[in-house]
Structures are given as C-alpha cells and as structure tokens.
Amino acid sequence: VLLIDCESTEYEAYSFGGNDEEEKPTVVICNSNVTHSIGGGEYPIRVKQCAKALEAVNTVRKVKSLRHATMKDIDESRDSMDELIYRRARHVISENERTKQAAEALKMGNYEVMGRLMNESHSSMRDDYEVSRCVVVVMFRGISLPK
C-alpha cells in the first residue's frame, strides 16, 4: 500500500498483511459500474465549495489549502461558512487525518483500526461530501465490518 503526498510527491510504502496466514486481512474490491465524469457533475461543485471553505479558514489562520487546516481552524471559522461548506471542509480535513491514522494502523498491523477508519471514510464521503451513490452504499453495507 502506498501513502502518496500529492503536494510534495513523496511516498511511503506499507506492508499489507503479516507473514502468518491468520494475520492477513481479507480485502474486497468491488466495481459498482457507476460512471461519472470528473469534468462535469459534482466534482467542479465540490472544488468551488472547498475553495469557499478555504476562504473562511483563511480569515482565522492563513493556510495554502484545506490540507493544512485543522478541525480547530474550521470550527473557529464556522461563522464564515454555511453548514454545507462546513461539512465539505470537515470531510477533507477528517479524511486527511484518517489517511495518516490508516498508515499508522498498517504500520502496526492493526487491521481492526484500519477497517474502522475505512468505515468512517465511507460515512464521511456519504454524509459530509455527498459523493457516494446508492449502489455503493448498498455494496458497502454488505461488506463492511460491524462497528
């Protein structure tokens, strides 16, 4: 598994699975066959919404991108953004934090934490970023681990 820093282009490789068969997690990869276009639809809307969130955060603390913002930053600038923009920012910031936590969980071989983080990631994409589709939600419910 690679953790890629898209800003610096640095990357770090992580092992997925131990040497013992009992330690190896089961990974399910599914194709929903849902098509979308990055140039149209929701993507450019999300980019604009995140830009609005960044403007609001920059009234409290100057950051280059939401990647450098914290939950404290968006909470302190919440009065400068509506609920929708706040949820978009919360997704971006929490997803970045989950990614760091997932890398640490992989490093430690803690696949239970990794599974929980993946569940949280999907919930955030569905609820805060609103990019999950019904068919994906149904598939996810069928394969996700109980909480």
Domain boundaries, the chain: 46-147
At 46-73, the pLDDT tens digits run 999 999 999 999 999 999 999 999 999 9
The one-letter amino acid code at 17 reads G
Binned at pLDDT 50, 70 and 90, residue 1 comes out as confident
C-alpha to C-alpha distance for 6 and 109, rounded to whole angstroms: 24
Range 1-21 average pLDDT: 83
Evaluate the CA torsion angle 21, 22, 25, 26 in order and state its sign.
Answer: positive
Task: Note the pLDDT of residue 20.
Answer: 64
41: left (phi over 0), alpha (psi -120 to 50) or beta: left
- What does the radius of gyration of the chain's CA atoms come to, in whole angstroms? 17
- Composition of the chain by helix, strand, coil, percent to 5: 55, 5, 40
The encoded tokens of residue 91 equal 């997704």
Q: For residues 1 and 14, is the Cβ–Cβ distance under 8 A? A: yes
The pLDDT score that the predictor gives to residue 119 is 87
Reported as a pLDDT band with limits 50, 70 and 90, residue 34 is confident
Q: What is the predicted pLDDT for the residue at 72?
A: 97
pTM of the model as a whole: 0.84
Task: Give the CATH superfamily of 46-147.
Answer: GHMP kinase, C-terminal domain (3.30.70.890)
Report how far residue 51's alpha carbon sits from residue 24's, in angstroms, rounded to the nearest whole number. Answer: 40
pLDDT band for 135, please (50, 70, 90 cuts).
low
